[in-house]
Amino acid sequence: MSRDRELERERDRILTSLFIDHYDPLRRLAYVVMGDGPIAEEIVMEAFAKAMAKWHLVSKADYPAAYMRQIVVNLCRSKIRRNILERKVGEMFKRREEDITDRTAEDYGMDIDIWKAVQSLPERQRIVVVLRYLEDLSEPEIAEVIDLPVGTVKSQLSRARRKLADKLGAPVVGEAS
């Protein structure tokens, strides 16, 4: 038997053992985080598929079960972020009464100077400003939506506020004094 075949059999044996011993606890973890049984099962199965694909990492882990738990938690977090984004996009389209391309900033009740100033911001700053002031999300919610640390969101908002204040000739709003 070739060395590769032996390694595959050993991988399959260990993964099977991991599956038998840890499927239920991992599914319970995903269920508690997600609140949905079928989604929890899907996440755990995806975690095992990822473990198989990344076997070189799993096999070197001191605690493969802990590594699997980390994969499940990361998949849950990704699914939550995706759900939040999908919900917000869905709500945006439900609220839309006419084709957005035919409307202007003024049609949305936005001052054209403010709109132009926001559009001139770098992409990340523009996104955090829109999520904060148009979508009324908190800094932690923004961090979750765009998968950045809260500190990065705060610094991007701070920079964006300063740039907007400079462009609009206004004092910086929302900064600690």
Q: In the structure encoding, which two tokens stand for residue 89, read together?
A: 């996009």
The pLDDT tens digits for 85-143 are 778 777 766 665 445 445 554 554 555 667 777 888 888 888 888 888 777 789 998 99
How many residues make up the chain in this entry?
Answer: 177
| 170, 139 contact by CB (below 8 A) | no
Write down the CATH number for the domain with range 101-168: 1.10.10.10
Residue 112: burial class (beta carbons within 10 Å; 0-12, 13-18, 19+): exposed
How far from 85 is each of 21, 89, 175, CA to CA, in Å?
A: 34, 6, 27
Torsion of CA 51, 55, 61, 67, to 10 degrees: -10
Query: Model-level pTM?
Result: 0.49
Domain assignments of the chain as residue spans, ordered by start = 3-93, 101-168
CATH T-level fold of 3-93 = Rna Polymerase Sigma Factor; Chain: A (1.10.1740)
Identify the pLDDT of residue 171: 63
| 128, 146 contact by CB (below 8 A) | yes
